Chains A and B, each alone.
Chain A
Amino acid sequence: MSQKTPLYDEHVKAGARMVEFAGWQLPIRYGSLVEEHHAVRRHAGMFDVSHMTVVDIEGAGARDALRRLLANDVDKIREPGQAIYGCMLDERGGIIDDLITYRLEDDFYRMVVNAATRAGDLEWIERQLADFDAKVTERDDLAMIAVQGPEAIDHVVELLGAPDVASLKPFRSLVHGDCFIARTGYTGEDGCEIILPDQVAVETWRKLVERGVVPCGLGARDSLRLEAGLNLYGQDMDRDTTPLESNLAWTVAFEPPDREFIGRGALEKQKSEGVSRKLVGLVLGTGGIPRQGARVVTDAGDGVVTSGGFSPTLERPVAMARIPQDAGDEAVVELRGRELQARAVKLPFVRNGKPREGLPSL
């Protein structure tokens, strides 16, 4: 039996095509995926992300616990409400999950982890934090709405009467009435994610619809995050890859050197021996669309497409691929027995709603 979010009836009433995702019934699209995608790049769209798992960590040992648990360092957080993005690793440096961690108060942190990895994450967190004075609470009483796009903040400020949201910096959050509002997202656009009680979610969703914010499904969520070069757990990274092989070295805090986070030894070893693979973007010309699992041939050996699709903003196929570290920019993607020319590029593909300058044509 799959679960329903508090917004399930809203999706069905709007004619959404529902799919099962990580044990939840969620909309993949309401009408045209491409139109939903463009709504976020050009105006404002919103996503029901209530399936995501909110975990609160509270207690005098919470800080120490998270400095052990996470490859990024919560001590980089300078003020209450600020967040960091990073990975939770196993002892081999493999990625258990990627997550955002907020410090709400000195001894009170909030993590938002993936629904697909929920059970394993919770078990791992409980086990690793057993010796710390830190209480772990899953908040399954909360819904979550991501409002994204250049006009997203204006809508939220006006609807909620929350002017402070306008001056919120990226990766900062505030509490407004029943709502926890963070300037974060998974689209590469400005916007925010609102964590709110289940019973408030429906009314908020309806009012955002009335304001013209376009409901968007998982399909647009995936095409938007791919254009933005944001990894998807389970595709672009997993237990068999480390952050150093996943374009996430920037999320690993090796300083200070005496912080013994889980996986540190493995990552230091990998760093000193040399990281053999890298995660890059690929742009392609015409002739087909690369999909997850497709083989990538480079001058330094084979790689694999981890995420692929058609970019509505670039109007061309793009992919993320894990290829040998020493590979040059020229690559070939094998697709249904044919060879598609591709070029490795730095991510993201799209920035501020526009194709990044200098992307090669093929």
Chain B
Amino acid sequence: MSNIPSELRFAETHEWAELLEDGTVRVGVSDHAQEQLGDLVFVELPEEGEEITRGEACAVVESVKAASDIYAPITGEVVSVNEALNDSPETVNNDPYGDGWLFTIKPTDENDLDELMDADAYAEHTDE
């Protein structure tokens, strides 16, 4: 089983969210998700300043074979996106919880995070 950092929260659709010290939330896809997707060759990120809504598609990751939507784990405004992925989308495969992050959000409601799974619940969710 892949390692799941305990400080992260997870959506059922396999995005992770991490509350940073400045109150913004960093978002990426789980190790399990990148493994399922296979080699990523293109990432389409939201725009900075874009308002995104929990549960709605806000980004796209593409493997050689297929495109997959990324759903916003919480509602808020996009404050930064990981531009480095434009040149090296494979970073999502190699370091999904680190340099492979996708974007950060300024949450509209921090309580959104409580709706997400903790690491143990997510481990169970992916273990079926």
Contact = CB atoms under 8 A, between A and B. Distances in A.
B118 interface: no
Given A32-B38, A33-B39, A288-B44, A223 B64 contact: yes
A291 B38 contact: no
B9 to A, nearest CB: 27
Contacts of A317: 42
Interface in B40-64: 41-42, 44, 60, 62-64
B67 interface: yes
Label chain A's interface by main secondary structure. mixed
A138 to B, nearest CB: 30
A289 interface: yes
A309 B44 contact: no
A33 B62 contact: no
A336 interface: yes
Contacts of B39: 32-34
Interface in B46-88: 60, 62-67, 86
Nearest to A312: B64
A289 B38 contact: no
A222 B63 CA distance: 13
Interface size class of A (residues with CB under 8 A): 10 to 19
A33 B64 contact: yes
Contact of B62 (A34, A37, A223, A289): A289
Contacts of B41: 34, 289, 310
A336 B64 contact: no
B64 A34 contact: yes
A343 interface: no
A29 B66 CA distance: 13
Interface in A257-311: 286, 288-289, 291, 309-310
A289 B60 CA distance: 11
Contacts of A219: 38, 64-65
Contact of A309 (B60, B64, B86): B64
A288 B59 CA distance: 12
Given A288-B62, A336-B60, A310 B42 contact: yes
Nearest to B42: A289
A33 B38 contact: yes
Contacts of B63: 33, 310
Nearest to B89: A310
A154 to B, nearest CB: 28
The 3 A-B residue pairs whose C-beta atoms are closest, nearest first, are A310-B41, A34-B39, A310-B64
23 contacts: A28-B65, A29-B38, A32-B38, A33-B39, A34-B41, A37-B64, A219-B38, A219-B64, A219-B65, A288-B42, A288-B44, A288-B60, A288-B62, A289-B41, A289-B42, A289-B62, A309-B64, A309-B65, A310-B42, A310-B62, A310-B63, A312-B64, A336-B44
Interface of B: 38-39, 41-42, 44, 60, 62-67, 86
Given A34-B64, A219-B65, 4 more contacts: A33-B38, A223-B65, A310-B64, A317-B42
